[in-house]
Amino acid sequence: MKVAVVGATGMVGEVMLKVLAERNFPITELIPVASERSVGKTITYKGNDYSVVGLETAVSMKPEIALFSAGGDTSVEWAPKFAEAGTTVVDNSSAWRMDPTKKLVVPEINANVLTKEDKIIANPNCSTIQLVMALNPLHEKYNMKRVVVSTYQSVSGTGVKAVRQLENEIAGVEGEMAYPYPIGRNALPHCDVFLDNGYTKEEMKLAREPQKIMGDRTFSISATAVRIPTAGGHSESVNVEFENDFDLADVRQLLSNTPGVIVQDDLENNSYPMPIYAHDKDEVFVGRIRRDETQPNTLNMWIVADNLRKGAATNTIQIAEYLVENNLV
Ligand SMILES: NC(=O)c1ccc[n+]([C@@H]2O[C@H](COP(=O)([O-])OP(=O)(O)OC[C@H]3O[C@@H](n4cnc5c(N)ncnc54)[C@H](OP(=O)(O)O)[C@@H]3O)[C@@H](O)[C@H]2O)c1
């Protein structure tokens, strides 16, 4: 399998290479791709050196699969060119997620929608992926009506520039700003751009993407997305109102039985999900599971995952694995 990694020099791209190697993805030829600035740079994969190439060159090499994480503009312009050349693109940007002609996939939930004809497949937003991993099994049993989610998102979700801003602030060094304000010792209720309705684009991704992934528009989601000075790992405070009443022990059991989800909820031992614990892990961690005592059939929980792994690279590679295993490329 000839595989291009577009955005190989970026935060997600680097983790993508690591996860491809860890999972022994069947690569016969790796094509690392980045902007013209990086062409000729060397990246190492499984102990071998590879030269970074530009997009034009990569298309002409006709890879079977291209894993994209190079921003929305690059995806809009280049994913169709790869697709025309016969390559199947799995894209991490928000460019294609809500396009009705493109599939939006979390493999544990809806990989079965994929066919050979899907040449551009969208990977959901990082905060969406960890949310639906926990919501889907509960929705199947108790029927969700409404979800209120507040996120506590790490700077690595913005990319290298934001990680550098935080590091500079900690070191007391002046440097380029990824955010309009300092992020150290701060919390910014501002992830991605503001839209006409007063929400941010990130908040609207959280509101809309789960309905598409779960193939169900009967529930609604209201979101507030906040950037905090953690280096990696997104956290979410989630309030879910169900149609039907639930049993807390059963909720824990359902989540524990869900592949890719780990229940970490032992209050006596102060055990609950945290970004430092979820770091570099593929699972979604759920804890602080409790009944909302202010209204019936309502649950509170706390969800944490590594945004660069299950939130981006791992989910993308799981999609690619499904394509290979089911002869869809
Ligand atoms: N960070 C996350 O948690 C996360 C999660 C899910 C999805 N995503 C999405 O993944 C994408 C990348 O995010 P990131 O955090 O990895 O960003 P990043 O660290 O800033 O890396 C961006 C990558 O894209 C490449 N690139 C930029 N402009 C390009 C162009 N015109 N042509 C070709 N390559 C270009 C960069 O190459 P150079 O090094 O040459 O500049 C670099 O490899 C974004 O679309 C983001 O929304 C990120």
Residue type, 105: V
| Minimum CA distance residue for ligand 1 atom 31 | 35
Residue 77 confidence (pLDDT): 98
pLDDT of residue 110: 98
The pTM score is 0.97
Please confirm, yes or no, whether 191 is among the known catalytic residues. no
- Write out residues with Cβ below 6 Å of ligand 1: 7-13, 34-35, 37-38, 55, 69-72, 74, 92-93, 126, 156-157, 159-160, 307-308, 311-312
Q: How many whole angstroms separate alpha carbon 220 and alpha carbon 217?
A: 7
Tell me the mean pLDDT in the region 320-329.
Answer: 98
Residue type, 111: A
Atom 22 in ligand 1: residue holding the nearest Cα: 10
Q: Look up residue 123 and give its DSSP letter.
A: P
Read off the pLDDT band of 163 (50, 70, 90): very high
Note the pLDDT tens digit of each residue in 28-51: 999 999 999 999 999 999 999 999
Please report which confidence band the pLDDT of residue 164 belongs to, taking 50, 70 and 90 as the band edges. very high
Of 287, 152, 149, nearest to 210 by C-alpha is: 149
Does the annotation mark 190 as catalytic? no
Angle between helices 126-142 and 201-214 (to 10 degrees): 40
Edge-first strand order for the sheet with 120-122 is: 29-33, 2-6, 65-68, 88-91, 120-122, 103-104
Name, in order, each residue with C-beta under 8 angstroms of 127's C-beta and a sequence gap of 6 or more: 151, 153, 157, 202, 205, 206, 225, 234, 236, 307, 311
Residues 80-116 pLDDT 10s: 999 999 999 999 999 999 999 999 999 999 999 999 9
Q: Catalytic one among 139, 191, 234, 279?
A: 234
Alpha carbon of 232 to ligand 1 centroid (Å): 16
